[in-house]
Amino acid sequence: MNKFEYTLATDYDRAWLNFELDLPLKPGKDGSSNPFYVNRPGNPIVELVDALLAPFYRPPKFFFSGHRGCGKSTELLHVLSNPSIQKKFWPINFSIREEADIIDLDFRDILLAVGGRMFREYRKIGGELPDQLIKELNSWSGRIEKEIQTVLSGPVREYEIGANIDAFFANAGVKMKLEPATRVELRQVIEKDITGLISVINNIAAAIYIKEMRIPLILIDDLDKPELEKARAIFHDRREIMMQPNCAIVYTVSSALFYSKEFDAIRDQAIFLPNINLKMPHASDEGNEEGLDTLRRFVHQRMDPGLIDSQALENAIEYSGGVFREMARVMRTAIGRARRRNATQIEISDVEWAATEIRNEYRRILDKNDLQFLRKINEHHRLEYNDRLRPLLQLLAILEYRNGDNWCDVHPVLRKIIDE
């Protein structure tokens, strides 16, 4: 696969690529900003960076969240490349998808991924760890391997991970992700000695700090994907264990956790990335020019402005609801229709087509109770607890905003449905 090029589109083919829905924007190797990156007004990521750079007695843990498509992965990458962060920390960023089964995720999987990824990334850059530590790690992984072989039935060879620590960390993630039998047994073995795994993580982190004079900082993406019950089990029920590693960690967490009573467990270390405000609260006709300009730049930094009618762009921005991924989705669908029409410019009808396509997706999944609740939201814009609120927020049928106090609105494409 060719490396993605961040170049301004002057035709529909390039524009289609530039509005890829899942495109975390990697900064330049020299820390320079990505050409497509748009800094949002009042970006909460500044709060996270400030908190990481503040003095601390123990390496901090933070819980980073936001609604689907709001740009969490991109912001984590920018934290990673921040010069001040790199000076203070030895940072690594990875997706939990690479290390574990995202559908069947457990706190032990995450801790094993933290230790394994930290060890492998440091070795990858040629980092040398003390011989005594390697000896201790080999002894630990050998014990784990032996216990797994003891409890598993069937041919041992089928379930081997590797007693050598390099082989263990190289293979454990793959086994945990792809082999349910090994996953179950490895979790059981780790559960018997969870302090042993924490000790392994802390010893690796301490060795890296001694060598680099920088504290390891682990940024874990896609931890917001598991369902609420699993998020509760990891970040509420096992919160104290997740705070134990002696390295700085930013855990992404499900936005659903922020709308549950269990949120109290992570309140003090929580950072939330809201959607872009496109209008002032409770004033449907008053636009928020700063937010509107943010979305205009989102498009203009990817595509020549001449490819889209100016009013069509304004309509597309309104239909996005201030969600970056929704903006990309509206643009992609409109680009596709304009290309099929052999048009020289994306017009209002193309954007309306895109809005209709999104609206039709919602028609298939929203029931009468959902629509009734959405009508209430459309009237008062208050974020009040209701058993319908959390799933509708996750569906982006309801969008949360913050102008001082937080408030909410229905996804703009749904107004036609709720008015029917």
In words, the CATH class of domain 45-273 is alpha beta
pLDDT for residue 16 is more than 90: yes
The average confidence (pLDDT) of the chain is 88
Cα(first)–Cα(last) distance of the chain, in Å?
46
Token output for 193: 């000695």
Q: Pairing mode, if any, of strands 398-403 and 405-410?
A: antiparallel
pLDDT band, residue 1 (cuts 50/70/90): very low
Helix (H, G, I), strand (E, B) or coil at 398: strand
Helix (H, G, I), strand (E, B) or coil at 221: strand
The predicted pLDDT at position 184 comes to 82
pLDDT band, residue 4 (cuts 50/70/90): confident
The predicted pLDDT at position 152 comes to 58
The predicted pLDDT at position 410 comes to 93
Kindly report, residue by residue over 33-44, the tens digit of the pLDDT: 899 999 988 888
Give the lowest-confidence range in 6-10, 269-273, 337-341: 269-273
Residue 279 is given by DSSP the state B
Per-domain residue ranges of the chain: 45-273, 289-418
Average pLDDT over residues 253-263: 81
Q: Radius of gyration over alpha carbons of the chain, in Å?
A: 24
Helix (H, G, I), strand (E, B) or coil at 112: helix
Which residue blocks in 253-323 are alpha helix, DSSP H?
289-300, 310-320
Give the lowest-confidence range in 7-16, 174-183, 296-305, 359-368: 174-183
Residue type, 271: I
Average pLDDT over residues 165-178: 79
pLDDT for residue 3 is more than 70: no
Kindly report, residue by residue over 215-225, the tens digit of the pLDDT: 999 999 999 88
